[in-house]
Chain A
């Protein structure tokens, strides 16, 4: 798949229509993990619509998203940037040898405060 096909695929699997974006930036204004992300929610929308997907694929911004859905909740146009970020993440982990979390890594990081739910969702998020 070339980049434009990949961008189309990301839009298709996320169900996001990037053309609905009003360019208001409310998603980025709402993002609690702004400091930690190289690219911000509004840039995911803009880059995918305008052919700059390669930058997103080279960055780990998609993995820094905390999936808190603040951007989805507050977007006045119902664009759902977090869904788009999720689709970029899926595109990356589905590539060969791209699992970001291996089961035996979990054992090392286990501690009493870590909820089981977090482990399950981390496996879903970082692996195929």
Chain B
């Protein structure tokens, strides 16, 4: 028989205001096995924990029930306290009488009754608890970063600087991400490439960092400290060890009509190409969909041009398998497609552009060489209208419900840069709200208004229509309470941003959470912002939610710290609450193997002694280091052979019985 102590926490008034804690303490003494009960204002405090420890020692307790907040908050606290005075930590159970009881009830009598029932269930469980010993597993001292934008680069650099190996997997031929496409960055207006490319070069040159560019993560198995990832290196049709990045092939290539992704399709590139001058790694890549050799079997000009003999039309995709201790997701974002926003005429009118396209137009390496020329007739626009919140903060199917966060600032930046360089240009910004929280952000926006004379109009644009070579913009000016019409030369839409389409696939692959907008979910919105709910998986950058560059870099470094903290350990403690198969009951049906999301179950042929009858049977065997204790197998098992340690079927049934008593 167990000797159980029950401890009821007031949680200040959080619990005590709705639950009569004294009554719960008294009721506990009537439960089987309970030899001691107490209540205290803050059980989690040092003196509260002292109460628990003293009782364990003085009353010789073999089990503890703490009626308090969610086990997510303080289960670890009380288990540690129990362990410190020699009690197995898995003999401690928490009855959640705060989130599950006091916070959701108003009536004291009802709240108390429910608290007693929850206490009773926990006591029933502890009566069947057994001491569990956690195993250890080794940590592979290498991290995987998925995505090579500024978030991935910063995370990788920080991890590498701490002395651990890092692999960056980037699906594009070069790292750099969206930041490489930007012209200037707010609020300091420094050149984006000038601050990013040194980091790209640092990452490539670092002896601890390996970059798999033009590669994708195919699958991931394993668990924290010991993941195995399959990485598919897509065929470049150019040998990386030979290509010098001279670019001669790109000049000779006769197929030159493919929209240039780096310039948002506003000019074209050759079939064999280097994404941009500062690309890292700087190797050419052949786009087989555009290459004449792949389409007709002829041409071969690049192969003949290349002195280094790097072109290899027969190259095949390659799959690499690598082991990692931690994985960081840094898959970033894209600007939404504007096909469904007919009112702005983006698809019909070349002079209606997105802000990212304007970013390329303003850039010296862009399609116009940095001159502000409108796409249709390459003339300088005299009147420019910016439209904010295009697809953000809406509820239509084509809208995103969230604020994209970066648009107010980059629009102020664009407006300011245009007025600085071309003072004869009139610039209008239609806004719903101007949101500029951030260091020096409000000052930046006010400068656009006060110093650069940008016209900010409170209202939204309802329609953009082509009219005699101009764009007629119908907007509202809510402060004037009027509809206004502007004949503009160029309209720039601040389109919403959304997580990259790979985020959903990767979240599924890593069995980590994703929200309704496909942003990856952090373990706690305030206190664990860079960890996912899955151990060993961390989040960096916009894949977790909209962010600007300063925030992305901060979060990237934070994610790196978490990774370093994990990789610094030689071994990590495993969860002992894992599945166990009863070899006498197992009928070898494979149901559990099929449902196991971690691949922890295998079948072995083993000699068993079934009541004196010895025979070799096919039975399930659980790899305790791989099992995450999800319990899927216990439900799938038709013969009741699978059980979860710490959550056995017997324990669960005892809890249900205690509740129904």
Contact = CB atoms under 8 A, between A and B. Distances in A.
A29 B504 CA distance: 37
Most chain A CB within 10 A, of B343, B399, B477, is at B343
Contact of A23 (B399, B432, B463): B432
Given A42-B476, A76-B389, A76-B399, A27 B394 contact: no
Contact of B462 (A20, A22, A26): A26
Contact of B432 (A22, A28, A74, A78): A22
A31 interface: yes
A32 to B, nearest CB: 9
B395 A34 contact: no
Most chain B CB within 10 A, of A25, A31, A77, A78, is at A25
Nearest to B399: A76
Given A25-B476, A25-B478, A76-B389, A30 B462 contact: yes
B393 A29 contact: no
Contacts of A42: 476, 478
Contact of A24 (B343, B460, B474): B460
A23 B396 CA distance: 16
A101 interface: no
A93 interface: no
Contact of A29 (B394, B399, B463): B463
B59 to A, nearest CB: 58
A74 to B, nearest CB: 5
Interface residues of A, number: 22
A29 B396 contact: no
A77 B395 CA distance: 5
A24 B477 CA distance: 9
B395 A28 contact: no
A24 B387 CA distance: 11
Contacts of A28: 459, 462, 476, 478, 483
Nearest to A46: B478
A44 to B, nearest CB: 13
Contacts of B394: 76-77
A29 B395 contact: no
A24 B459 contact: yes
A29 B389 contact: no
Most chain B CB within 10 A, of A26, A27, A70, is at A26
A27 B475 CA distance: 9
Nearest to A35: B483
B396 A70 contact: no
Nearest to B431: A24
Contacts of B395: 20, 76-78
Interface in B448-491: 458-463, 474-478, 481, 483
Interface string A31-46: 1001000001011000
A24 B476 CA distance: 8
Contacts of B462: 26-31, 70, 74
A117 to B, nearest CB: 25
A24 B459 CA distance: 5
Contacts of A34: 483
Contact of B476 (A29, A73, A75, A76): A29
Contacts of B463: 29-30, 70, 74
Contacts of A76: 389, 393-396, 399, 460
Contacts of A23: 432, 478
Most chain B CB within 10 A, of A74, A75, A77, is at A74
B476 A26 contact: yes
Interface in A56-104: 70, 73-78
A29 B343 CA distance: 11
Contact of B459 (A29, A73, A78): A29
B462 to A, nearest CB: 3
A75 B343 CA distance: 11
A25 B460 contact: yes
A98 to B, nearest CB: 28
A24 B462 CA distance: 10
B393 A22 contact: yes
Given A74-B462, A76-B394, A76-B396, A24 B483 contact: no
Contacts of A73: 343
Contacts of A30: 343, 462-463, 474
Nearest to A39: B481
Nearest to A31: B483
A76 to B, nearest CB: 3
Contacts of B396: 75-76, 78
B343 A74 contact: yes
B432 A29 contact: no
A25 B480 CA distance: 11
Contacts of A22: 393, 432
A3 B458 CA distance: 30
Contacts of B389: 24, 76
Contacts of B459: 24-26, 28-29
A27 B483 CA distance: 10
Contacts of B343: 30, 73-74
A95 B481 CA distance: 30
A21 B414 CA distance: 29
A11 B460 CA distance: 24
A99 B478 CA distance: 33
A20 B399 CA distance: 15
Nearest 4 CB-CB pairs, A to B?
A: A29-B462, A30-B462, A76-B394, A25-B476
7 contacts: A23-B432, A24-B389, A29-B463, A40-B481, A76-B393, A76-B399, A78-B395
Interface of B: 343, 389, 393-396, 399, 432, 458-463, 474-478, 481, 483
